[in-house]
Structure 1
Amino acid sequence: MKLNRQNLSRLAADIGRPSEVCQVASEGIVHIGVGGFHRAHQAVYTDALINQGEAAQWGICGVGLRAEDRAMRDALAAQDHLYTLIQLADEPGAEIRVIGSIRNMLLAEDSPQALIDKLSDPQVRIVSLTITEGGYCMDDSTGEFMSELADIQHDLAHPQSPRSIFGFLCAALARRRADNIPAFTLMSCDNLPHNGSVSRKALLSFAHLLDHDLANWIDTHVSFPNAMVDRITPMTKPSHRQQLAAEHGIEDGWPVVCEPFVQWVLEDKFCNGRPAWEKVGVQFTDDVTPYEDMKIKLLNGSHLALTYLGFLKGYRFVHQTMDDSLIRDYIRRFMDVDVTPQLAPVPGIDLSIYIDTLIERFSNQAIADQLERVCSDGSSKFSKFIVPTLNQLIAEDKPLDSVALVVAAWALYLKEVDEQGERYRIIDPRADYCRSLVSDDACLTERVLGAESIFGKKLAASPAFVQAFERNLHRLRTLGVSGTLQALLADAR
């Protein structure tokens, strides 16, 4: 049975479905970057709230800025923008729900003007983002906006026919200002530290290059709440679609798969109203920083700590990696010894319980989270998820081997062959640059640690870290992953 609004009434009784209110909700949110995470997180919270009759004005219009987004648009459009959420745990059975909060999806390349018109609509009061860590055009080594990028230069020269996210936002905000329409809140849901502050700096940097008066208006009228978002969402595989059809009779072109756990901590800083998301489990706060540090350093940092070691060992799923007792012991030690002492108290959170939960989540066999997904875009992830921990360890003169191993494993992963001799291709927007860092073994340390756009300046300037990196790289080459972990864990005792 094809998933569409006409067939909703034919779904099995145990499958959740959108209410009639959800089916007629207006579009008060524009979300840019409709991928798996948005559809398993923000869209699900919003769907739950609309189904309670609380937010009929907060339906979502999705937006794709890239040519690759056409596949998602076509899949959703073919089924009335409905999709199936498949929530998987290790216990038998899956929780299945059809989500209806996305009402439409626009592609920028089809009509830039239509997107500007949408963003300018007074009905739209929140614009949210999942554009990946690299989508904010910020140089990780300097913290400055990369105005030299081709799309940015194009948009500065042609502000009425933009290509970049910032060009579209400024075109719409300029029109809202001219027409005396209140500004929207720009709400990042990306997985990076102080995502709202990053959004603000990037947008204002672009706006000042374009029009100082507009930039000052944006600074005064647009709000940029920081958020901590969390839900493991693996890539949808053909087997998920096939299983959904075989077991539940639903033909869905692009379902989304996720774990049961979900969390959203959000600063209550909205300039033009917001949904009452607190009624469906969102935690509002004045300062998201302690929650953000906890999640980014523990969850995201640990993901990087396990992913390259697991991939080198020949594993391809996170749960397989966690089934390896040496890696599991190493990850627990990384969390307990290297990261937790750096964290401030987190209101309402027991960190030891949180860590136990992370171990359980990483070990979830049912969602089969792909290491390839976690490995991807490492050149953008290290500066946010690992380098802050390393810099503090260096500053406090703490042992460095455990975290240096993460960097060494990434460097060896860039060679594109695992311990089993299986070749693979790294997935990274800067893949060629990353390969160049390890192309010459004689100067590998200098090149890798000298990559300031990835690691900043402190790692290469620390003799203790350079030694720890080279020690772990040598161990990985000569002892393999298991031998390296045995040696590291023995040294730590």
Structure 2
Amino acid sequence: IMTPGMRPSEPGMTPSSIESDLGDLLEKEAREEALEMLRDPIAGESMLKSSSQASTFSLERAKALSALDLTLPKQMVNASSEECEAKGLVGYQALHFAREESAKYRQAYSNWRRGAAHGARGEGKFKGARGEGAAASAAPPAQAPLLSPKSGMKKSQTAKSDVDLEALRRREQKKMTRLDEEPGSAPPPEQSWLKFAFNPFSEKDLPRSTLPLCEANLPKMLAANTANLSLPAVGSRTATSYIAHVGVGGFHRSHLAFVTDVLSQMQHANGAEGERWGILGVGLMPWDRKINDALKKQDCLYTLLLRGNSKAEARVIGAIHDFLFVPDNPEASLERLCQPSIKIMSLTVTEKGYYRNVDGELDTSNALVKEDIEQWAQLDGGARGLQQPKTVFGLICTVLQRRRAAGHGPLTVLSCDNMPMNGSVCRAVTLQFARAVDAGLAKWMEGAVPFPNSMVDRITPATEPEHRALLREEYGVDDEWPVIAEPFLQWVIEDSFCAGRPQWQLALPADVLITSNVEPYELMKLRLLNSSHSALSYTAILCKHRFVDDALADPDIFAFLRAYMSEVVKTISEVQGVNLADYQRTLLERFSNTYIKDKLSRLAQDGSQKFMNTLQDALIGYRAQTALMQQMVARSSWIQPRHGNTIDGTEMVALALAAFMQYTVGHDADGEPFVLEDPLAEVLRPIACRAFASDEAADATTRLDATRSFIRTIFGDEVAGWEAFVKNVFSHAEQLQSTSCREVLCAFRHSQLRVLRAE
């Protein structure tokens, strides 16, 4: 785990364990004490002159802290306290001298930076990091900065002095900004490219040429013999049975398509006879045209790029054999999907693609759902279903209606979306749609069509231009739409299929589990990983972070997230073969992966749906079983309540929801806007604005009522009726409004330090 004070670019650096962050948190507190001495020249000077022992102690602590490397001049770092005092380097003089030296360093670093290739923490980007551009870019000066001026570090507390420190900080901020600008030039635009840390497991020697990804170029790529690049064997892309997948995005391509490809290549290499499986991509929405065009151009090949602390490799996936973009030719697409060779329909359409209301029922008032229901009877009185389905349920019911009429029998519907009991949810809303259009079809589906549950655990960021460039530079593959993911994979599937299935567990026995009960694994992943992702995103964005790994290197965020997991884990029963404490440690390590640069903005999308799916049942169950939960708190949680509302053990969950409510307002305390992508955005934003209103008309009662309404909109009446929880969220919202998210998290971390020291 990258912890405060650790420099990712330093050679020989090894990740620390989860426990080592406590030492760094204590170190940060000592660092702040040393910095406070420099911030307060009058108090610092009197302290140094009044006590030589105190002077030695403070300076020695300051010298030992790496975060002061940029602010302590070399003369002060190497000199003893007596020499510093003899030279008059105390109080104002020490502070002034330190700033002069650090300004010289920043100028040198800025000069070097303008000539260096883009990269993370002083490293070159792609070519520069690999050595090809090393000659053009000299090494960065020693003690490269870890954080930018806008990195989101805790604001310094104002010392008790007659010096205007706020004005001083603003002047220093402007000075640092000017150092990064060419004289007389306009301010540079904000850099939007991702900054990748160089992965030591990457291919060292660059390929001689870059080839566009397509079937014809596979032999040339194979002849290039690029290390850590796997390619499908010639003649391996054949199938006798197919999976039709709706929603071909990065998540699907990082697990289901990947595992199916591994199985296919293994069967081909072993010369195995029998059933061979392939995938047909299906696109319903207008935005699916982009993936349709990209895959068709590449013969439906794509590259999966895995980057982590233990490996870096690329694999060209050939499991997808064709793509059906339904709006282009609805009838031909439906005919293809009704063929007997289609035995599974899988889907990853995200939570909002299920069109559920807050009660979990199918939202028949939604425009697309309503259109499919109204148009069902227009084609042969409904005997052949829809002419052009607009929703995934309209598509599933149309295919099943036609298959039933043709005597081809049912197929299995496999949901891979991040929802609790996703198969059961998919079955419920699909049957509700079927009952609305054809009662006979619904009755047949109830007995014939299985909807197995599944759980998928693999962090898959959105594809960025930098991923394409990295793939070209390191592996010589020019891919229109590759997928980047972490090496970790866990896929648990309920064994309930009516027309056969691939033997996925044979392809990756350590990563794929076929079982009769998915629920324990699913709840563990949804509540600890997915809800933690949401909680992390809003608090970290409010603290000015952009990337997940940078946020995990922030001690305030790290302490909050670990405490959040310690609360949520109390709602999870034991999972066979899984140590929940180890799983939490593994999650923190995975979140800290510097090699994929996952964006917080991706995690912040659809917050209302994600919180409802991951926390609604947990909150209801936790409230109903208070006695049992208190026993679990005593056994597994180090969190100690701080005030009356936290006796229910929901303090960190309440803080996460308060942060989400502030994020929903649309801007932070400084007026910087947030991009709110949420299906309930228009409903939640005015409620959040009332909860965070600062005018005189908005009294505490009005803000509390708005908080309750916000919770009701997401979780329903049962959670909104939990008065202690509502007041807990309200209390945290009041703190966020009166101070800042940074100060609230920092105060919590220090309170935990006091508890740990007392213990």
TM-score for the superposition, normalised by structure 2: 0.63
1:255 shift after superposition: 0.5
CA distance in 2 between counterparts of 1:82 and 1:5 reads 8
1:289/1:221 CA distance change after superposition, 3 Å: same
2:559 alignment partner in structure 1: 329
1:491 shift after superposition: 5.2
1:197 shift after superposition: 0.3
1:40 alignment partner in structure 2: 254
Counterpart AA for 1:42:
L
Counterpart AA for 1:64:
G
1:444/1:427 CA distance change after superposition, 3 Å: farther
- 8 Å CA contact 1:188–1:225 kept in 2: the answer is yes
1:10 match: secondary structure: helix
1:126 alignment partner in structure 2: 344
User: Which range moves more in the overlay, 176-185 or 463-472?
Assistant: 463-472
Counterpart AA for 1:466:
V
1:90 shift after superposition: 3.4
1:477 equivalenced with 2:737 (yes/no): yes
1:3 equivalenced with 2:221 (yes/no): no
CA distance in 2 between counterparts of 1:114 and 1:449 reads 50
Structure showing greater Rg = 2
1:489 shift after superposition: 4.1
2:573 alignment partner in structure 1: 344
1:254 match: secondary structure: coil
Q: Map 1:195-214 to 2 at 5 A.
A: 195-214=422-441
1:448 shift after superposition: 4.4
Counterpart among 706, 714, 729 of residue 447 in structure 1? 706
- 8 Å CA contact 2:538–2:604 kept in 1: the answer is yes
> What is the CA RMSD across the aligned residues, in angstroms?
1.8
1:81/1:283 CA distance change after superposition, 3 Å: same
**Size of the alignment, in residue pairs?**
490
- 8 Å CA contact 2:687–2:709 kept in 1: the answer is no
Q: Map 1:134-149 to 2 at 5 A.
A: 134-139=352-357, 141-149=358-366
CA distance in 2 between counterparts of 1:86 and 1:308 reads 28
1:468 alignment partner in structure 2: 728
1:304 equivalenced with 2:534 (yes/no): yes
1:292 alignment partner in structure 2: 522
1:425 shift after superposition: 1.5
Q: Map 1:362-441 to 2 at 5 A.
A: 362-395=591-624, 396=626, 398-418=648-668, 421-440=671-690, 441=693
Counterpart AA for 2:455:
M
1:218 equivalenced with 2:427 (yes/no): no
Counterpart among 52, 66, 82 of residue 266 in structure 2? 52
1:235 alignment partner in structure 2: 462
1:218 shift after superposition: 0.8
- 8 Å CA contact 1:475–1:483 kept in 2: the answer is no
Counterpart AA for 1:303:
H
2:474 alignment partner in structure 1: 247
CA distance in 2 between counterparts of 1:226 and 1:216 reads 21
1:22 shift after superposition: 3.4
User: Which range moves more in the overlay, 6-15 or 323-332?
Assistant: 6-15
Counterpart AA for 2:412:
T
- 8 Å CA contact 1:186–1:223 kept in 2: the answer is yes
1:194 shift after superposition: 0.4
1:113 alignment partner in structure 2: 331
2:570 match: secondary structure: helix
Counterpart AA for 1:460:
A
- 8 Å CA contact 2:704–2:727 kept in 1: the answer is no
CA distance in 1 between counterparts of 2:420 and 2:677 reads 22
Unaligned runs of 5+ in 2: 1-210, 377-385, 627-646
How high is the sequence identity, in percent, across the aligned residues? 40
1:99 equivalenced with 2:313 (yes/no): no
Q: Which has the higher contact order (CA 8 A, sep 6+)?
A: 1
- 8 Å CA contact 2:233–2:265 kept in 1: the answer is yes
CA distance in 2 between counterparts of 1:206 and 1:21 reads 42
1:151 equivalenced with 2:151 (yes/no): no
1:444 shift after superposition: 4.7
1:487 equivalenced with 2:747 (yes/no): yes
- 8 Å CA contact 1:122–1:181 kept in 2: the answer is yes
CA distance in 2 between counterparts of 1:98 and 1:404 reads 44
Unaligned runs of 5+ in 1: none
- 8 Å CA contact 1:29–1:128 kept in 2: the answer is yes
CA distance in 2 between counterparts of 1:38 and 1:232 reads 11
TM-score for the superposition, normalised by structure 1: 0.95
1:119/1:449 CA distance change after superposition, 3 Å: farther
